[in-house]
Chains A and B, each alone.
Chain A
Amino acid sequence: AQTIHQWPVAEIKAVGSPLSLGCTIKGKSSPNLYWYWQATGGTLQQLFYSITVGQVESVVQLNLSASRPKDDQFILSTEKLLLSHSGFYLCAWGQLSNERLFFGHGTKLSVL
């Protein structure tokens, strides 16, 4: 069975500090991977997607970057956090022939 793990579960960070969030998929080879952001009480906004190692496509510009260093790993990062980065970050995976998305449990980020 496939499992998706996100870390950390929650972070409290200062404005201007760096950030790195991680996502690992187990039990599925060559998945399509996605990063989403959700404001409190809001809908989901897709940030990035990756269909293969080393390739990441940006959907919206939020002063964030993403990387896929391994087939099963997706990293979201920034060197300088803004207050507007606060929210809930979700990683998801899907397969090309059936793009049903499955999500991790998310990371709650508070920027102070």
Chain B
Amino acid sequence: GDQVEQSPSALSLHEGTGSALRCNFTTTMRAVQWFQQNSRGSLINLFYLASGTKENGRLKSTFNSKESYSTLHIRDAQLEDSGTYFCAAEAADSNYQLIWGSGTKLIIKP
């Protein structure tokens, strides 16, 4: 079965609001990355976490390997935050391969 379950699959926010995306893992992961894919298809690396929490501007991400989940929080959403967000995790027993979530399509409305 799927080792990475990402939710929600789609999300609509008004500018200035916030929400959280989540990835649950069904196997032990040693690190997670979060990406934003923009309308041109480019993937931007937002975070790499082996544990704990990182923050960058209006984005904050947490990785809890013990409880097998990671979250990406967006606050004060802006129009340029629109896109598809993916989490991708490294399994503890795997090298050079990432397991990807199915993505969250985020639409920011004025």
Residues of A within 8 A of B (CB): 32, 34, 42-46, 49, 51, 57, 59, 88, 90, 92, 98-103, 105-106, 108
Contact = CB atoms under 8 A, between A and B. Distances in A.
B42 A98 contact: no
Contacts of A98: 48
A105 B86 CA distance: 16
Give the residue among B88, B96, B97, B103 with the most A Cβ atoms within 10 A: B96
B97 A99 contact: no
Query: What bracket does the count of chain B residues touching chain A fall in?
Result: 10 to 19
The 4 closest A-B pairs by CB, nearest first: A100-B48, A103-B43, A49-B96, A43-B100
Given A100-B45, A106-B41, A44 B100 contact: yes
Given A43-B86, A43-B102, A88-B41, 14 more contacts: A34-B96, A42-B102, A42-B103, A46-B97, A46-B98, A49-B97, A51-B96, A59-B97, A99-B90, A100-B33, A101-B45, A101-B88, A103-B45, A106-B43
Contacts, number: 48
B108 interface: no
B13 interface: no
A88 B43 CA distance: 12
Contacts of B35: 103
A44 B86 CA distance: 9
Contacts of B97: 46, 49, 59
B31 interface: yes
Contact of B43 (A51, A59, A90, A99): A90
Nearest to B30: A99
Contacts of A103: 35, 42-43, 45
Contacts of B41: 88, 90, 105-106, 108
B45 A102 contact: yes
Contacts of B31: 99
Contact of A101 (B33, B102, B103): B33
